[in-house]
A and B are shown apart, each in its own frame.
Chain A
Amino acid sequence: MPDEELLRTEGLVKVFGRGKDEVRAVDGVDLTLARGEVTALVGQSGSGKSTLGRLLLRLMDPSAGRIRFDGRDVTEVRGADRRDYWREVQAVFQDPFAAFHQYRRVEATLATALQLLPPGTDGRALMEASLASVGLDAAETLAKRPHELSGGQRQRVMLARALMLQPRLLIADEATSMLDASVRVTVLNLLADLRDERGMTVLFVTHDLGQAYYLADRIAVMHRGRIVESGPAERIVAEPEHAYTRSLLADVPKLHRSA
C-alpha cells in the first residue's frame, strides 16, 4: 500500500558507455522500501547493487526511470532541492578509512554535516548525542584523527554523522564488508536498534546473505542489474523461488550447526 512505502523506484536504469561497450549496470529496477523496515539488497560483485545505491542517493543521475520518495518525484532534484533530499536520506559506505578526510579530525568531518542544518543548531551537542547513540565517547573520539581509530570505530563515527541529520532513510552500502566478524555484529545490531527504537528505514546493500538474513525484514536479490526475487527474509531463505537465489543459497558456506 502506498502509505507504507517510503521509497519506490519505477523502471530505474543506468547505462555506462556507448554502443557495443555499453554496460547496463541497473537494468529496469522496481524496488520498494517499506517504512520502518530493513530491506537488504543482496547481490554479488557486478550485480549493480552499488550503482543502485548511488542512484538512490542522487549522487548519480539515472539513464531512465523514476524515483519516488515519500510520494514526491525526486528523480531529477538538484541544487537546493537535492540538499533537502539529503536531509532525509543519508548513507554509510564500505571503506571506513576512505570515507574520512585523512588530514582532519573527527570533529571537523562531523561538523561538515551541519551545513544541512538550520544556522542556530547546537552542533557540538548534536555530535555528542549522535556519538553516544552509537556507543562512542564524544570527548575521546572528536579530537582523534581517522588513523587513530579502529575500523569498527570509524564505521560507527560514519553512522553517527548520518544520524546527526536524523534521516528517514539510511543506505548502508556494504557498510560491514570491511569489518572483522566480531565487529560486524556490533554495527548490525546498531542498525537493528535504529529500526526498532527510531522507526528508521534502512536499505542494507550487501553481498553476504548471512548478514542479510540476520538483520533484514525483507530481502531483494539482485543479479546483472535486475531484481530477480524479493520477499520476507525468512521466506527467501527457506523457500527461494528464482533459480539464481537458489544457486546463491547453495553456494554460500554454512556452518552445519544444530541451532
Chain B
Amino acid sequence: MTLARLTGLTAHYAAGDAKFHALDDVGLDVQSGQILGVVGESGCGKSTMASVLSLNPGPSLRVTSGTLAIGGKDVDLTDPASHRPLRGGTVALLPQGALNALNPTRRVGAMAHDILAAGDKRIKRAESLRRTAARLEALELPPRVLRAYPHQLSGGMRQRVVTALATLRNPRLLVADEPSSALDVSSQRLLVDLLRRLVSDGLVEGIVFITHDVALLSELADRIAVMYAGRVVEEAPARDLVGSPRHPYSQALLASVLVPEPGTRGRRLAGIPGSPPDLRAPIAGCPFEPRCEHAMDKCAVERPPRLVTGPRDDSCWRSVDTEEAAHAR
C-alpha cells in the first residue's frame, strides 16, 4: 500500500537574478512498512527534496510545482502556508547532524513537551511526559532520560533521544536526511538497526533515508532511488539496483563504491570523469549526457522519459531503446 506519493516536484533557489534549478520533476513513492533510500552525490538535490518532503523548505526555495499525497490528503507543495499544520505530525524530519540539534540548556522532557504542544496546544505537561516515557521505553531508554540534559547522555543515547523526539507525534512518514554522515561506523550500525525497528514495530509507517552512501542503503533500504542533477534517474528494489543497475549514472556510481570485500582489490576502478552540470542553466536533455559513455545524439536534446518496467523504473534513452528492441522480437 502506498503510504506517500510525491509527484512532479520542481523547485529552484532564487539568489539575486540567478535561478538555481535544484529539483526538476521529481517523483517518489513510499510504500507502507518500507524504507526508501535516496542516494546521490553533492548537488544532486537530495537534501532540498528532503526539506520539501518534510514540509520544511528553506526560506529561499521556490517550489513551482509538486504534490504530496499522504494519509488521504493531497498537499500542495507550492504553498508553504497550507501545510504548516501537517509538519511534524504527518511527516517528520530527522535532520543532518541531529546529535547536535538538541538544545543543551533544556531537559529532554521539556523539549518533548514543546514538540507535543506544537501539535496540540492544550496538552498537559504530565500527559506529554507520559507519552514520551512510553516512546523512550520502546527505544530501550530508561525514564530517567526525561529529566536529563543532553550532555549527560552518551552519544548513542542522544541519537535515540533525537529519533524518539522526531517521531513523538507519531508521524506516518519519517524523512531522515543524512543522519549517519557524521557517525562512526559502529554508531551508524546502531542507527540503521534503530530505524529498521521503528518500521517493524510500527512506530512509523515508512522512512525516506537520504544519503551519499550506497553501501549503507543496500543494507537498510527496501527500495533505492538514485538522484542526479535534481532528477530521479532510477528507482528499483535495493537488491536489483545493486545487482543490475540500468542507468549509466547508477552503474558508474555503484562501480565507484569501495567496500572491504573481495573484488575491490586488484581492479582499477574508474570513477566518473567530469563534474555535475551547473544547475543555473535549465537542461534540455539528459543531465548526465556530457559524462556518459553511452551517450547518443538525442540524449543532449530530448529529455529521456521515465520507463517503468515492473517494480523498477529509470530515465534513460538506452533503456527505452532496449525495451523497444525486446518488444519488437
Interface residues of A (CB under 8 A from B): 44-45, 150-152, 180-186, 188-189, 207-214, 233-234, 237-238, 247-249, 251-257, 259
Contact = CB atoms under 8 A, between A and B. Distances in A.
B275 interface: yes
B242 A255 contact: yes
A182 to B, nearest CB: 4
A189 B271 contact: yes
A185 B218 contact: no
B261 A257 contact: yes
Interface string B101-126: 00000000000000000000000000
Interface residues of B, number: 39
Contact of B213 (A182, A238, A247, A253): A253
A225 to B, nearest CB: 16
A181 B253 contact: yes
Interface of B: 41-42, 184-186, 188-189, 192, 212-216, 218-220, 239, 242-243, 252-254, 256-265, 268-273, 275
Contacts of B212: 180-181
Given A189-B268, A253-B216, A248 B262 contact: no
A214 B256 CA distance: 11
A256 B242 contact: yes
- Could you tell me the dominant secondary structure of chain A's interface residues? helix
Nearest to A187: B271
Contact of A255 (B188, B252, B259): B259
Given A255-B242, A256-B242, A213 B263 contact: no
Given A182-B256, A210-B259, A255 B269 contact: no
Contacts of B272: 182-183
Closest 10 CB pairs of A and B: A185-B271, A182-B272, A210-B258, A180-B41, A259-B263, A253-B215, A251-B189, A213-B260, A210-B259, A44-B184
A208 B218 contact: no
15 contacts: A181-B212, A182-B252, A185-B256, A185-B258, A189-B268, A207-B184, A207-B185, A213-B258, A252-B185, A253-B220, A254-B259, A254-B260, A255-B214, A255-B215, A255-B254
B251 to A, nearest CB: 11
